[in-house]
Every structure is written in C-alpha cells, then in structure tokens.
C-alpha cells in the first residue's frame, strides 16, 4: 500500500505551483498556438524577485528603520566572513558568503515581527514579480509576432536557457550564481503561507483562464491558433492577441515561482531548468488535454501523483528490474515520461479531457435580445414622429 504521508505540504505546494504553470502554458500553447519552450525562465523570475531583489529591499528597509542595528549586524557578520569588505548591509545580504547569516539571523526576524514592513515588502516583491514577468513576456511576444511555430519554439528555449543557465547561474552579483541566495520568506510559518498563497493563486488562475476561454478574447485566441491569416482577414489584431496571451501567462508562471520559492527558501537558477519547469508542464497538458483548463489541472495532478508514487517505490522497482536504485530515480522516470507522451499522442491525442467549444449566448436569448432592441428602436422612432 502507498504511504500517504509522502503527500506532504511541500508536495501539495508543488502540485499547486505546477497547476498554475500548466494553466499558463495552456493559455499560450493550447489556446493561442504559441509553443513556449522557455517556460522555466518565467517561473524563475518569481524566485529571483524573492531572492535577488527581495533580499536587497529587505536589507535596505532594515537599514532605514534600524540604522544602528544594521551597522552592528554588518560588523558581527564581517567578523564571521573572512575577507569581507562591504559598504552596507544591502551589499552584504547579496553576498553568498554572508547571505544566509544575514537573512536568517537579522532580516527574517525583522520582517515577520513588523507587520507593516512585512505587508509592504510582500506587495513590493509581488509587484516586482509581475513587472519582471511583463517585461520578459513583452520580449517573448516580440519574437512571437515574427516567427513561425518551430522557429519560435527554438528561439524561446534558447533565450530562456541563455538567461537562466548563463546570465543568472553564472553571475554571482544577480542571484548568487551557482550558490544561490536565501529568499525572504513571510509569516512565522512560510510553508503554510506558501500553501495558502499557492492555493488562492491556483483557484484565481483557473477562474481567470476559464472566463478568458469562454470570452470573445478566447475565441479570438483559438482563431489565431487555427488560422492566423483567416483571423486577420476578419479584422483580428494578431499581434495584440498574442501579446496579451503571453504576458498574462508569464505573470501567472512568475507568481507560481514566487510562492514555490517561499517553500524552498534557498535555490539556484539551475533548480528552474528546462526539464522540470518546461518539459514536464508540456507533458502534463498533453496528458490532460490541450486548450482545456480542466484537462490541464487533471493532467497535472495525475502526472505528479503517479511520479511521486513511482519515486516512493523506486527501490523495489530497481530490484525487480535489476537496476541500481539511483539509476531508477534519475533515468527511468524520464524514459517513462517520454513513453507516456508518445502513447498519449498516438492513442488519445486529445488528452484525458478533449477541447470543448467556447460557451456562448444561447441563440434564443440572443434572438430575444435583438428583437428587444429592435422594438425599442421602433418605439423611440414612433415617439419622435408623434412629437
């Protein structure tokens, strides 16, 4: 039997984060036809806002509110870190040698014990997360307007790999380089905060995606996906539709990355790699059903629970197949994921829940509305003639 304790709070946070990422990817690839193979960059932006930027802002607030305590903390940490030459606690907080000490010993107590500071910092970091996602989403949409699907997929993957694995992972001054930085976490119980925040975000993301899919904008997104030439002939602004879809999806993915980081306070850029945060969400929406938000949610849950159970039983599976448990855990899951995608695409390409038509106003109600407007127009015309 399965030990259900393996489904911990951290695992639930992971599921909720992936649900949001899958919904955002479905908005781009499923509804609009934008093959975003660089999703991991946008998820990482939320982590970067909490780590590289949030830590600096928290240190600056600490320095402004308690200048004497900040100066004393800088001296104490300077004695613990050999060769330290910092001009301020803001600079020290972003240094990999002192980051953990400063964040855990000074900044976290300062933030969680001052409600006004905590609320202000939370909204600032969330605002930075949204702003970063919009900027990078705008850059991605610029490419999406000029390239076909295959070339766009390659470009987005290359651009995201360049930013995550080269710029952020190799540049220590941005986010700690290959050592990473400890993020600022909120409330005395950051795991519960991450769980509640991720749950609220997942619900709001699903509601937003459902309403969008059944709106005129959703039908326009499908039209662009199916035949952008025909859509443009009927007056649809292809550039505007793709831009809105990509930016909305980018913001959702970045917010998911922010709440995920609240559960995993310390992470490097390589944690948000293309396999974990791009290829796996693609597998989830293919399994659940493209252009179907319910399918994206169900595909994510089924996929992650199955993967979790497999990881739990990897040792007996390794013995059964006469393979080392380490190889079972590192290689076999990826092989099985590839086989799963091929089977789904061959046997049931529409996924668990196929795409449905957008909900529109019933014809009878639409006819009544049109007749009512006509009657009102005729009544007003008759009234003017009598006058």
Q: Which two tokens stand for residue 207?
A: 């509601």
Phi and psi at residue 350, to the nearest 5°: -80, -10
Helix (H) or strand (E) holding 178, with range, is: none
First to last CA, the chain: 84
CB 18 within 8 A of CB 281: yes
Tell me the two tokens of residue 259. Answer: 């709440």
Q: Do 152 and 253 have their domain in common?
A: yes
- The CA-CA-CA angle for residues 270, 276, 278, to 5°, reads 105
pLDDT given for residue 92 in this prediction = 87
Query: What is the reported pLDDT for 1?
Result: 44
Query: What integer pLDDT is reported at residue 47 of this predicted model?
Result: 92
Same domain, 27 and 154: yes
Task: Indicate whether 252 and 380 sit together in one domain.
Answer: no
Spatial separation of the C-alpha atoms in residues 273 and 269, rounded to whole Å: 7
Query: Would 354 be classed as within a structural domain?
Result: no
Same domain, residue pair 178 and 41? yes
Give the C-alpha distances (Å, rounded to integers) separating 150 from 64, 153, 154, 283, 385: 51, 5, 7, 18, 63
Instruction: For residue 254, give Cα distances in angstroms to 133, 218, 321, 354.
Output: 6, 22, 40, 27
Q: Phi and psi for 267 in degrees, rounded to 5?
A: -155, 150
Q: For the beta carbon of residue 152, count every other beta carbon within 10 angstroms.
A: 21
Q: Which of 269, 287, 305 is the last residue of a domain?
A: 287
| 111 belongs to a structural domain | yes
Looking at the fold, whether 263 and 163 belong to one and the same domain comes out as yes
- The whole domain housing 196 covers 9-287
- Chosen domain end from 231, 259, 287: 287
Structural domain tally of the chain? 2
| pTM more than 0.85 | yes
- Whether residue 347 lies inside any domain: the answer is no
- Given a contact cutoff of 8 angstroms between Cβ atoms, the answer to whether 225 and 231 are in contact is no
Residue 141 sits in the same domain as residue 26: yes
Residue 372 sits in the same domain as residue 242 = no
Instruction: Quote the CA–CA distance of 202 and 366 in Å, as a whole number.
Output: 33
Question: DSSP assignment, residue 181?
Answer: E
| Domain termination site, one of 287, 312, 345 | 287
381 shares a domain with 239: no
Same domain, 239 and 369: no
| Structural domain contains residue 321 | no
- Does 273 lie in the same domain as 142? yes
Do both 164 and 251 map to the same domain?
yes
Q: What is the pLDDT of residue 318?
A: 75
* Tens-digit pLDDT string for the chain (387 aa): 445 555 688 899 999 999 999 999 999 999 999 999 999 999 999 999 999 899 999 999 999 999 898 888 888 888 888 777 788 888 888 888 888 889 989 999 999 999 999 999 999 999 999 999 999 999 988 887 778 788 889 999 999 999 999 899 988 888 888 888 888 889 889 999 999 999 999 999 999 999 999 898 999 999 999 988 898 888 888 889 999 999 999 999 999 999 999 988 777 888 899 999 999 999 999 999 999 999 999 999 999 998 888 877 777 777 777 777 667 766 777 788 888 888 988 998 889 898 877 666 665 665 677 677 777 776 666 666 666
The answer to the question of residue 332 being in a domain is no
User: 338 in a domain, yes or no?
Assistant: no
Nearest to 199 by CA among 305, 297, 309, 55: 297
C-beta of residue 218 within 8 angstroms of C-beta of residue 306: no
How high is the pLDDT of residue 316?
79
3-state helix, strand, coil in the chain (%, to 5): 80, 0, 20
Identify whether residues 275 and 370 lie together within a single domain: no
Please check whether residue 222 lies inside any domain of the structure.
yes
How buried is 45 (Cβ within 10 angstroms: 0-12 exposed, 13-18 middle, 19+ buried)?
A: buried
Give the SS3 label for residue 266.
strand
Q: Return the CA Rg of the chain.
A: 25
Cα–Cα distance measured from residue 127 to residue 123, given in angstroms and rounded to the nearest whole number: 6
Give a yes or no: residue 303 inside a domain.
no
């Amino acid at each position: 039997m399965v030990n259900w304790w393996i489904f911990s709070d951290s695992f639930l946070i992971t599921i909720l984060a992936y649900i949001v990422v899958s919904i955002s990817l479905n908005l781009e690839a499923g509804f609009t036809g934008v093959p975003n193979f660089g999703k991991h960059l946008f998820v990482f932006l939320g982590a970067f806002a909490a780590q590289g930027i949030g830590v600096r802002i928290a240190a600056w607030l600490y320095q402004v509110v308690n200048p004497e305590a900040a100066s004393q903390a800088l001296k104490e940490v300077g004695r613990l870190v050999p060769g330290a030459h910092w001009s301020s606690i803001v600079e020290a907080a972003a240094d990999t040698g002192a980051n953990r000490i400063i964040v855990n010993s000074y900044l976290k107590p300062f933030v969680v014990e001052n409600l006004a500071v905590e609320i202000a910092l939370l909204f600032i970091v969330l605002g930075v997360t949204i702003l970063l996602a919009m900027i990078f989403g705008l850059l991605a949409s610029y490419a999406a307007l000029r390239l076909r699907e295959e070339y766009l997929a390659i470009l987005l993957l290359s651009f995201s790999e360049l930013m995550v694995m080269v710029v952020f992972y190799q540049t220590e001054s941005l986010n700690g380089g290959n050592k990473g930085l400890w993020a600022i976490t909120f409330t005395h119980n950051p795991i519960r905060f991450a769980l509640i925040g991720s749950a609220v975000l997942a619900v709001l993301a699903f509601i937003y995606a459902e309403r969008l899919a059944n709106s005129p904008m959703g039908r326009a997104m499908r039209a662009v996906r199916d035949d952008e030439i025909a859509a443009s002939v009927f007056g649809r602004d292809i550039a505007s539709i793709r831009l809105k879809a990509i930016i909305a999806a980018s913001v959702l993915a970045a917010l998911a990355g922010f709440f995920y980081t609240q559960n995993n306070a310390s992470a490097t850029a390589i944690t948000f790699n293309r396999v974990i945060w791009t290829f796996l969400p693609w597998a989830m929406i293919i399994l659940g059903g493209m252009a179907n938000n319910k399918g994206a949610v169900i595909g994510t849950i089924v996929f992650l629970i199955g993967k979790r159970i497999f990881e739990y039983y990897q040792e007996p599976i390794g013995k059964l197949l006469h393979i080392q448990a380490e190889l079972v855990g590192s290689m076999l899951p990826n092989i099985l994921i590839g086989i799963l995608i091929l089977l789904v695409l061959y046997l049931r390409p529409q996924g668990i829940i196929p795409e449905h038509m957008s909900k529109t106003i019933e014809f009878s109600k639409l006819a009544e509305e049109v007749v009512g407007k006509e009657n009102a127009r005729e009544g007003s015309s008759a009234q003017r003639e009598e006058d």
